[in-house]
Structures are given as structure tokens and as C-alpha cells.
Amino acid sequence: MDILWETIDLLIDTFWPWSASLQKMSLHARDREENPLMMQFYTWESKGDDTTSWWKHFEQEIPRLKELGVSHVWLPPLQKAATGKASVGYDVYDLWDLGEFEQKGTVTTRWGTKEELLRACSAAKSNGIEIIIDAVLNHKCGGDRKETVEAIPVDPKNRLVPSGQAREIEAWTAFDFPGRGEKYSTMKWDYRHFSGVDWDAKSRMNDIFYINGPGRKGWSNFVANELGNYDYLLGCDIDHRQPDVKEDLLNWGSWILQVTGATGFRMDAMKHYDRRFLREFVERTKQTLGMPKLFVVSEFWTGDIALLEKYTRLLRGQSSFFDVPLHYNLHNASMQGPHFDLRNILKDTLVERRPWDAVTFVDNHDTEIGQSLESWVDSSFKLQAYALILLRTDGFPCVFYGDLYPDQEWYDPRIGAKLELLVKARKNFAYGSITDYFQYRDCIGFARAGDERHSGCAVVLRSGIAPRSPQRGSADELGKEIRMKVNVAYHQVRTPLASVLTVSLTIYVPEARCSASGISGFFGGDSRRVLVSSDGSASFPCPEGSVAVWVVETTDIDFAFITNLQTTIQTVFTVRVSYF
């Protein structure tokens, strides 16, 4: 009977119609009309210091995040990890311990205490910033006791193929949670709740073992089919088909949102667990809490756009997805410089194919140099990459903490300062319809039309400097500026534009003009101005290896929103051209 129902489910998945996810979710923070923006507020090496925990640091930064226009913050895993305070949190021990109980040698998590967490979440909510919970529901680590179980070793390259005979192993599959007891949840975990492990304590052997025995159903059929079957990732692999497992995790989903006041989830390692469970998890949480617009984004790590598109359908509109193919395009552009054709920068990406399902990003904790998914976007293209996700209409962008804040890893202060300006440009100017001008292999542009409250912007970006090479492209494929039309409907006939990243901002001068400068940390700007014709046409230059953002320059305050922005803008712009 189980096989029959699984077959029916597979057929339903195959023919389920497309459904847009982001259109069903709440992306705009309460009482705020600005463009929504997510920030991942941690890196692999993030942690507090002797005087300030990470949660206190987050609370202190909330006013700045609000000023920047951040509407959603993705926090690191909240729960107690197997390696205690040393861990970022992905080696999950106890989901119900947020830094409250003495377990794994510590009360606090790496990030701080539960009390500090809740205080920070409350402050975020008071400032109109939504909290996104990192839900790590694929596995558990750091069991309290060993159990003797029957298991079958499988081929790591094809987990459907046994590599040996069934035998008894000792596995750390008993989770008693002695520090927490039965507070919040009475469930104690044992081998029956897991489908596999990667360590036999009896023989002291690392391998992938499928846990065998009565009632076992094999690996889930509703996971990615990489390596034959990608159900197993690490540690004790949770079997989401077990009724008591499902109930405990479903209860946790509602509880964690109620306790923290969070409004959404980032689903970690989604390709490794039963997608039917994920759908049920989201549906149950929505119904229990009365949150029909619950935000959900899944990490399904693949550069294969066809596979990612398939999973957007299989999740039936219950989750958006990180646009991994776009990330790889940005990474490749940063590595190849002028040899990468920027006209293809959005080709075969989720934001191109299904923008209503795409959460766009440049880098994250996994793509850092030295990490498991290393694919760091180099500084030579970092700002161009952020301009593409922050200033365009499609997708829901996410900024990485390590690009904006100083850290111990790969922070570049020249990039961080300019990125802050791009984030402010998103908040203040990037509105209205978009027109693309992808004309040259090394230079592309786009224009935002603006609306009644925002002037819009024109954006030009160019790839970096490289030695002359036949691969670079013929002269007619290269460009130093882009001829674009900007919307003058909301302004005087001859409308001046100014680079958002360089000179002083004034409002309404008699002549239509525009000042230009790139924001690359390695190249200088200039103070050129260009005329904007009555139909909105102008040629917008950009230095090599840079990005230039252009906005309306005026001398009189015409819109009420400018009054609120004036103080901020004066801190962004200088009287003279700034050289970067």
C-alpha cells in the first residue's frame, strides 16, 4: 500500500501546475513601503566577544539595518549544536534549546542566550524588520548514547547500491536531552527515527550506512536523485516518514515562530529530505498560526536550472528558492573578467525563468573561500553583481553580512562602503518598470522608470581590466557607455541626473545634466555631466571594472519623500567627485 501511495504522489508531482511562491508571501515589512531586502546576518566565523554576544550585536545594529532598508533578517541556526559554542549550528543537537539549558558543555549557543535572542527579535519587530529562522531539519548530531543497530553499508557514489552485507554497528542515535528533560517536547529520539548514519563506533569506521530492520522503508523516494539517492547528507539522517518524527518537527515549526515572533523560514539542505514533509511543514505552520503569507525560501544547491525549475513546481508554490544558477554566473563573470559576455549574465537563471520564485544573492557562508561550496564572487565584480540583484525589478535580493560588515574572513572595506551606497540606492531610487540595454559583451545597462515618489535610476556596469586578448571580443562588441532612455514623466522636460555614488545631490537645476562616476574600489571617478533630451535619452558612461548608478539631480525639493532622505543623502554625497 505504501508503494501505491508513493506512486500516486509521484504522478501528482509530475503533473502539478506551476504556482508562483513569492506572490503569495509577505515581503514588505509592516508599515513600510520601500523595496524589500533580506540580509544574512552571519558568516562561518561570526561570533560575539567577551562583552557582547552575537544576539546583542544584532540588536545594536537594528537601527542601522532599518535605515538601510533591510526588511528581513536571516539569522543563523538558533538551536544547541553538537559541538556547543564552537558551532555555527548546523550540527543540530536539540532544536528546542535556544540557549537555555546546560547541554553539550554550555548553556549559551555560539550566538548567546535565549533571553538575548528574544530581546533582539523583539527589537527587530518593533522596527519593522522581519526575522527568518534557519530551519535545519535534515539531521541530528551528537547523540547522548550509542545503540546497536543492523545496518547496510552503501556505495557513497550510488546510495542505492549496497557495498557490503548487513551487519551490527554501534551508532550514536539515542538523544535523551538530559539538560532539557521534557520541557517543550517529550520526544526522545532513537535509531527508529533515522534512516542512516556515517559512523560505526564498533569498528571505528566512516561509511554511509542505511539502518535496516522491521518496518524500514528504504531511503525516501522524494529527494534529489544525485548519487543515486540524496537522502543522506551527514550525521543521523532524519526519517521524515516516521509519524512521531513528523509530529515533533511540525510542533517545533509553530513553536519557534511563536517564541521568536519570526515570520518565515530558510529551509537548509532541502534536496536531502522528503519534499512531501516540507510541504506539510509549511501548510501546517500556516494553518496553526493563521499565517497564510508565511515566507519560505529553500536551499536547493544546484547550478542546473532545469532541476531547480522542476523543484519549484514540486513544492507547489510553498517555497521560493535561492537562485544558485545566478550565483554561479556572477562567480564566473568575476573569474573571467572581460572574457565573460555580460549579455548572458542572467541566462539560464531562476530570476530569468521564474522571477516570482527567485531569492537572489551574490555570496553566502557556504560560498566563502575554503568552504564546501566555494565559489566566491571576486572583488573585481562584487559591486556589479550586487547592482544586478539590488537595483532590478525581479527576484527578492539577499545581502551577505560578510560583504557589508568587517569580519575575520574575506571582507573588503572598499567593497563594503560602496555596497552600503547600493543598498541605499535600492531603498531610495530603484522603483518602477525596467528597460534593459544589454548591448556589449563587457558593458550593459538598465533603466528604472521610477514612480510618483521615486525618481528611478539608470545603471551601467562594466567588466574589469585584462590584457588584450583575441577572446575579449571585437571592437563593436565593447562599450564605454550605454545610450538609454530614462523616464521624465514625473519631472520637468529637461531632467538632470546625478551619480548616486559621487557628487552632491541637488534638486531641479535649469539644465538637464548628469554626473558620472564608477564605484569600483580600484578605479577613480570623474565629474562629467551629460544632457538628457526631452524624450529622456542620454549616453551614460561607466569606467572599466565599475558600476555607475544615476539618479535625478535637482535644486528644489519637489517630493515630500526627499525631505526625509535629505540628511541621509548629504552623508552619501560630497561636494567634489569622490575617487574610489
Active-site amino acid positions: 268, 299
62: part of which helix (H) or strand (E)?
A: helix 54-68
d(CA 536, CA 143): 66
**Residue 331 burial (C-beta neighbours within 10 Å; 0-12, 13-18, 19+):** buried
SS (H, E, C) 189-233: ECHHHEEEEEEECCCCEEEEEEECCCCCCCCCCCCCCCCCCCCCC
Closest CA to 330 of 354, 361, 300, 298: 361
Cell of 495: 531632467
Do residues 75 and 42 lie in contact, with contact meaning Cβ atoms separated by under 8 Å? Answer: yes
Contact 237, 139 (CB under 8 A): yes
Considering only CA atoms, which of 522, 529, 528, 527 is closest in space to residue 544? 522
| Number of residues that make up the chain | 580
Q: Distance between CA 208 and CA 226 in Å, rounded?
A: 15
Query: Are the C-beta atoms of 446 and 380 separated by less than 8 Å?
Result: no
The Cα 91–Cα 103 span in angstroms is 14
User: Cβ contacts of residue 256 below 8 Å, gap of 6+?
Assistant: 78, 95, 133, 135, 262
CA distance 126 to 157: 49
Burial class (CB in 10 A: 0-12, 13-18, 19+), 400: buried
Tally Cβ neighbours within 10 Å of residue 515: 25
| Helix, strand, coil percent values for the chain (each to nearest 5) | 30, 20, 50
What is the spatial distance between Cα 216 and Cα 178, in angstroms, rounded to a whole number? 28
Q: Quote the CA–CA distance of 341 and 114 in Å, as a whole number.
A: 49
- 3-class DSSP state for residue 83? coil
In angstroms, the CA 3 to CA 100 distance is 43
Q: Are 92 and 82 spatial neighbours (Cβ–Cβ below 8 Å)?
A: yes
Single-letter amino acid code for the residue at 266: R
287 vs 110: CA distance, rounded Å: 32
What grid cell was written down for 200? 560505526
Q: Any bridge partners for residue 529, and if so which? A: 515
Distance of CA 351 to the CA centre of its chain: 13
